[in-house]
Each structure stands twice: as C-alpha cells, then as structure tokens.
C-alpha cells in the first residue's frame, strides 16, 4: 500500500461562508490525522504556520488571525509559499474575488487542488473557464483536482448530479428551475398558491430584513446572480456561453430606480412601482397560474434564459416553500419525468456544507482518505 500523503489545507476568506466553513472544519479535520490547517486569510491580513510541521488551531483561529500582523498574500506569493513543501495542498477559496479566480489555472497547473463556491471563476470570461478546466485533472493528468459544487446550489448537489448524468452517458436536454433563494422567498410570498400575498415592495423589505437579500436588493433583483449559475451549467453541458450578457436576463429593477445612489433610496422609492408587479401577478392568476423567477437552459436550441415565467399551480416549481431552490434535469433517460433536486439553496451554513463536502472529496482524491475510526 502506498504511503499515506500529508495534506495541508489553506483557506482564503474567513467571514460569512468562510467562518461557517472553518467551524465545520473543527468537526471534520480531526477525523483525518494526516490533514492540517496551515493558512487562513482575510482581505487585509493572514495567518500561517511557521513551518510545515505545524498546524493552526481550529479553536483559536479567529483570535489568532486578529492578532496576526502578517498582510494578506497575493495569489503568486501564496503559490510560491506552496512550492516550499512536498505536502499535497488543498486551497479553499471562500471569496468572490475575480483576482483569485483568475489565478486558478496557475494553482491547478502546479497540482494545487482548488475547492470554491466562487461563481466568478466559472461564469465570467469563457477563456478563463477553458484555462481552468484544461489545467485541472483529468484534462491535465498532472493537474490539481477542482471542486465547485457550491458555486451553483450552495449545499444542493446540482453540479455533482449534472456530472453524474453526463459521465454516465445520459443526454441532458433541458435544465430549468428556481436558482435563487432570494427570488424563491419573494415570489412564494408575493404570489402564493393560496391567498393574495403581500405588496411587492413589502415582500422585498421583509426579505431584506430577514437577510435573504444583499444590502442593496438590486444586486438580487437584477437577475445576474441567477445568470451566473446558468452560465456555469450551460458550459458544463457544452454550450459556449461567453458571459451573462450573451442571453436574455430579465431585471426586476424599475428603469427609473436603476440610478438610485443607495439601497435605502431604492427601498424608499420602490412602493411607487408596486402596481407594475401586481399586474404581472394578476395576469397569471387569470389563467389559474402563478408567476415565478426561473432560469432555463434548452440544450438542443442552445438557448439560455432568466426571468419571469407562469406555472400551473400543480407544477413543482409553483409549490416551493420558503427560500427553497428547485432544479429539474430533463434528460433522455428520465423522459418527461425530470430528475429534481430541491432544498435550501442559500445561507452561510448550507453553502459552507457544500464547500466542506467538496473538501472531503478532495481529501479522498489526494489519497488522504484514512479516517480515525
């Protein structure tokens, strides 16, 4: 049996999802005696082991990071440091940084395994996507492994399900669903199956207060977050989608409010446009339907769309609850009854779970699979 490899885990991004991830690591990493946490960084500082024989404390990392006087490392500086050890490296990037994403090909080429929820790496420039995929294993037999489950479904197994379908030879014909926990919450309350629902601006305000939206809700209502997820899945099924502006993306921001200087100003002025959304809801109700904000990929037509769509009340998408996401895979094998993945698709804990699960897969793929029993 081959000698068990030592694996070092480096984490970029320690707030929000990153903090939840590190909390989960305190339960996961002790099960693997050959795994050690060696690096943690935020935007302005970093914490790393003095030698590769040491490891950072999962109990005191937050306090230790605050006390650290070391600045954050650039991607190149981090890669240079990784080059000073023979350990396998798993890099966990919990940020949404385009700069770090742009360096993934370099990490992968140097056999660094990358685990990330960062959508920008896989939905921005098509050339970057190709360089990432080309430098990762198995396209590059000497490259690092790549995992990004949480870039689309947070903790939901969207990417792994699609990979399984493709790798087992199924023909994916269409992907459709609600890809945003924010949009799900909004429309499940604004246009419920039963009852009238609240005013649009009130529901946006409730979602914001509950933490479902970004500080400026326009960052959710513009549809770009959903579009990024659709780009990732479309590229996985072979469509050469250049960027999120290459297909129709419906924004729910009134044109008159696009120039608001702040989220607060936007929220203050939004009630004046409630009637527009009421008309959208009423139009669907006249047909016995409900309106939902969905994304779809028609593989045969090579068409990607993001926006409002009406559904019969018996449709699975119409019956969502809370902030759940639902993604339906229509394939040759599954026929008219799609394979459906449904559940919480947003939130720090579930997103971190998706990242943690990917890290465990990476540990096993790096031959560090032996757990403490």
- From the list 229, 269, 281, 321, the catalytic residue is 229
Distances (CA, A) of 314 to 177, 183, 290, 311, 320: 15, 19, 10, 8, 11
Task: Quote the CA–CA distance of 318 and 348 in Å, as a whole number.
Answer: 25
30 phi-psi bin (left φ>0, alpha ψ -120 to 50, beta other): alpha
Q: What is residue 279's DSSP assignment?
A: H
Distance of alpha carbon 150 from alpha carbon 157, whole angstroms: 8
d(CA 138, CA 144): 9
With b for 16 or more beta-carbon neighbours within 10 A and e for fewer, the 78-94 pattern comes to: bbebbeeeebbbbbbbb
**Distance linking the first and last C-alpha atoms of the chain:** 19
- CB neighbours (10 Å) of residue 43? 12
Residues with Cβ < 8 Å from 51, sequence gap 6 or more? none
State how far the Cα of 15 lies from the Cα of 3, in Å rounded to an integer.
Answer: 36
Alpha helix locations (H) across the chain? 17-28, 61-67, 75-82, 98-101, 104-109, 120-123, 126-135, 150-153, 158-167, 181-190, 200-209, 218-221, 224-236, 263-269, 274-286, 348-365
Q: Answer yes or no: 163 catalytic.
A: no
Distance CA 200, CA 116 (A): 34
Q: Phi first, then psi: what are they for 79, rounded to 5°? A: -65, -40
Residues in the chain: 373
Beta carbons of 261 and 272 less than 8 angstroms apart: no
Strand partners, 295: 177, 306
Active site residues: 229
């Amino acid at each position: 049996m081959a000698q068990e490899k030592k694996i070092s885990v480096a984490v970029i991004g320690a707030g929000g999802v990153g903090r939840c991830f590190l909390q989960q690591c305190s339960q996961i990493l002790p099960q693997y005696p050959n795994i050690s946490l060696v690096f943690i960084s935020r935007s302005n500082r970093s914490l790393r082991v003095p030698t590769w024989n040491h490891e950072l404390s999962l109990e005191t990392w937050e306090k230790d990071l605050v006390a650290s006087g070391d600045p954050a490392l650039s991607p190149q500086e981090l890669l240079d440091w990784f080059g000073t050890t023979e350990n396998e490296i798993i890099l966990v990037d919990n940020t949404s940084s385009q700069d770090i994403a742009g360096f993934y090909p370099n990490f992968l080429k140097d056999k660094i395994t990358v685990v990330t929820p960062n959508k920008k790496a896989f939905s921005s420039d098509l050339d970057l996507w190709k360089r990432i995929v080309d430098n990762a294993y198995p396209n590059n037999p000497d490259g690092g492994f790549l995992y990004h489950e949480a870039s689309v479904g947070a903790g939901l197994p969207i990417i792994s399900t699609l990979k399984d379908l493709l790798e087992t030879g199924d023909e994916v014909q269409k992907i459709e669903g609600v890809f945003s926990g924010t949009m799900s919450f909004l429309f499940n309350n604004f246009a419920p199956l039963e009852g009238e629902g609240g005013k649009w601006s009130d529901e946006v305000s409730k979602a914001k207060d509950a933490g479902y939206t970004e500080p400026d809700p326009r960052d959710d209502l513009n549809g770009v977050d959903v579009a990024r997820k659709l780009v990732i899945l479309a590229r996985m099924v072979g469509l050469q989608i250049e960027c999120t502006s290459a297909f129709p993306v419906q924004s729910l921001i009134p044109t008159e409010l696009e120039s608001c200087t702040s989220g607060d100003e936007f929220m203050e002025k939004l009630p004046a446009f409630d009637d527009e959304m009421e008309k959208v809801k009423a139009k669907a109700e006249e047909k016995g339907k409900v309106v939902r904000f969905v994304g779809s990929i028609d593989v045969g037509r090579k068409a990607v769309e993001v926006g409002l769509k009406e559904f019969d009340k018996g449709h699975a998408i119409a019956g969502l609850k809370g902030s759940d996401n639902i993604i339906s895979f229509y394939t040759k094998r599954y026929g008219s009854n799609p394979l459906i993945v449904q559940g919480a698709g947003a939130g720090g804990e579930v997103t971190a779970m998706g990242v943690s699960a990917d890290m465990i897969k990476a540990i096993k793929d790096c031959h560090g699979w032996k757990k403490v029993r």
